Chains A and B, each alone.
Chain A
Amino acid sequence: MKRIALIFLIAGTHTIQAQEGLLENIQIHGNVDVYAQTYKPDSIISAPVVPQKSGMNSFANFIATKGSFSAGVRIESYMPPVQGFNPNYGLQPVGVPYRYARYAQDRLDITVGNYYEQFGSGMILRSYEERALGLDNALDGVRLKYEPVDGVYIKALIGNQRFYWQKSTGYVRGIDAEWAMNEFIERLESSKLRLRIGGSFVSKYEDSKVTNLELPLNVASWAGRAHINYEGFGLLGEYVYKFNDPNADNHYIYRPGQGVLISATYSRKGFGINLTAKSIDNMHYRSNRDAQLNDLFINYLPALSKQHTYNLITTLYPYATQPAGEIGFQGDIIYKIKKGTALGGKYGTTIQGNVSVINNLDTHRISTTSELDQEVYLAHDPKRQGYKANLWTFGDKIYYRDYNIEIDRKFTKDFKLKTTYAYLEANIDVTQGTALGKNVYAHIAVLDGLYKLGKKHSIRTELQHMWTEQHLGNWAFAMIEYGYSPHWFITILNQYNYGNPIKALQVNYPTAQIAYINKANRISLAYGRQRAGIFCVGGVCRPVPAANGFTLAVTSSF
């Protein structure tokens, strides 16, 4: 920890020098993010016993820029990792897992070291960082971006992925090209019809020490995409194909993988609608064929359901993408009723509706998974294809349903109310690995009121209720938050699982929090019980274990 302090001190000194003009043209800037928890035993909520009694994840980024050059490092520290983050992070208390140098001028952009990149919507390749999930698959190698002529964008890259404090043994190589019609053809620059097409090729190489299977050392994939816009209309199509990639997720079958994403949008002032359809089959694509959990994914498969914000809707039964196979569609609509009308009221009313439907793919097994796991077959054995499936056919297993509506209305100058209702059906045996044997059905209602008390003071209240029978029973949630702009927040909340079928588990989860904000610095301290749940971003989830104690969070940008 002293090392971190020292580094901060050095960085601080540099900043001062930069400001005093000794290193006149170099700018140093960055951010800090500290998240710490203390743990005390609480057997009723099954909080794990943590011998260290505390955990802390800290991150500090420093970026130096001068003209076309920039270089950056990130120092990370896990002492030990906060509960719920992968314990592998604890293998090294402090280190520098991310550093890079970059040169970018005019049409050329070269990065050496670590970098994040995404081809298309990421179904073929995406390296990214989601700190709240403990997820970082940054590539380490070289990336080149080049725009040879207006409207043509080329990216090429090679690298190893981050695996906690190590690197993947497999290499990732990729190239992506995009052509933008309206930039390429000058006279179409202001045309209402906008067209972009793109394509990618990605390949991974990984050595194999297995002798009973002929594993492909190189696994290639390709993807194509097109995006058309005409005034308020937009249409996007993307397809990805992966050649045979026997891996732990698919029980080492040689079946290729596929994915398709189609999204149509129409919007005008006061109205917007989006329809998206997606189907994926056998699309685990990792730089290590034996990797598990969220480790070493080369690609990213976005979840096709609404990303909710209210506690009871988001953390009990969220959807997580099933890369092995899923098919579904989503509709999202927003309409703003004009102010000054009978329905819209004096200040206007916004209505949003959303529907998500996700099932398994209709698959027919050629060989059982236990056959695949136990017996030795060669690549050309038809049994080693595993199963047959059609990318366009719904299976009979419901993975997820979400029907929700949200009405947001400002009643007076000082009072706003947002009302939300959601109906969920969730197959948590698939998304959370439980053995419930049935789907969970849940109705959730939320009232979110905001009262302004003068220019700087405000009070926000949230009342949430979930009605459900199949799993943990009913939940009630209440929160009150006092805001004093621009510096203070005080929040008190309680969740109560009063409908739990086991009487002893009908538990309250109270929490109190105070937060202080000064410009780009934020410090918050909370004390209370944390309910076990699922925390998700973008369809990738991490289980959060129950905890009882203090939580400290500090973020700062400089």
Chain B
Amino acid sequence: MKASIATIITFVICLNIHAQDGRKIPAVDVKKLDNSTFNTADIQNDGKPIIINFWATWCSPCKRELNTIAESYTDWVEETGVKLVAISIDDARNQHKVKPYVDGQAWEYDVYIDPNADFKRALNVNNVPHTFLIDGEGNIVWQHNSYAPGDEEELYELVQKLSSGESIN
């Protein structure tokens, strides 16, 4: 048992883990907040960096992260042109609460709903919050799971690097 766990952990760490790096955003149908269909292949930002963040209305650290970023988002956009795309994985139980929450918190992100986890699966997300960084060419260049207060500083440093054309790896 212990040996098996050790084997798995070793492999996980050895894989470390760039297979999604350089990958384009997969094409999956999600919902806009007015319930219309949107294909994720159409996520774009005129050659500037994109943050894709998976969250849910029932996920406290997710809301903590997105509300923290919201405080500086105007500055981030002004300085780097970055766009944050927030993907809610709320299902039919909470889907109707997403738009009131987003407007209530006055978020200026592009928000889509992935009610049956199709986009979440396509990007191999295990649990929320999970953040991806996309470079100006549309390649996934970085990802991060969980949120600890302060993570947004690291994220923004990476966004600034991408925005000024530096490599982040």
Contact = CB atoms under 8 A, between A and B. Distances in A.
Contacts of A332: 97, 100
Contact of A234 (B18, B99, B117, B124): B99
Given A196-B36, A538-B93, A31 B100 contact: no
Contacts of B36: 180, 182-183, 194, 196
B126 A31 contact: yes
Interface in A336-393: 336, 350, 352
B103 A452 contact: no
A510 interface: no
Identify the interface centre among A308, A309, A515, A520: most chain B CB within 10 Å of its CB.
A520
Contacts of B126: 31, 33, 522, 555-557
Nearest to A261: B92
Given A450-B64, A538-B91, A309 B59 contact: yes
A449 to B, nearest CB: 12
Nearest to A300: B92
A558 B124 contact: yes
Identify the interface centre among A19, A123, A558: most chain B CB within 10 Å of its CB.
A558
A411 interface: no
B4 A272 contact: no
A506 interface: no
A129 B89 CA distance: 13
Contacts of B101: 272, 334
A463 interface: no
Interface in B98-154: 99-106, 115-118, 121-127, 130, 142-146, 148-151, 153-154
Contacts of A304: 93
A104 B40 CA distance: 13
B34 interface: yes
B130 A520 contact: yes
Interface stretch (B20-28, B43-51, B74-82): B20-28
B8 A522 contact: no
Interface of B: 1, 3-5, 7-9, 11-20, 23, 26-27, 34-37, 57-60, 64, 91-97, 99-106, 115-118, 121-127, 130, 142-146, 148-151, 153-154
17 contacts: A4-B4, A8-B8, A8-B15, A56-B1, A63-B124, A65-B23, A118-B115, A128-B117, A234-B35, A270-B104, A302-B91, A483-B150, A519-B142, A521-B13, A557-B20, A557-B130, A558-B17
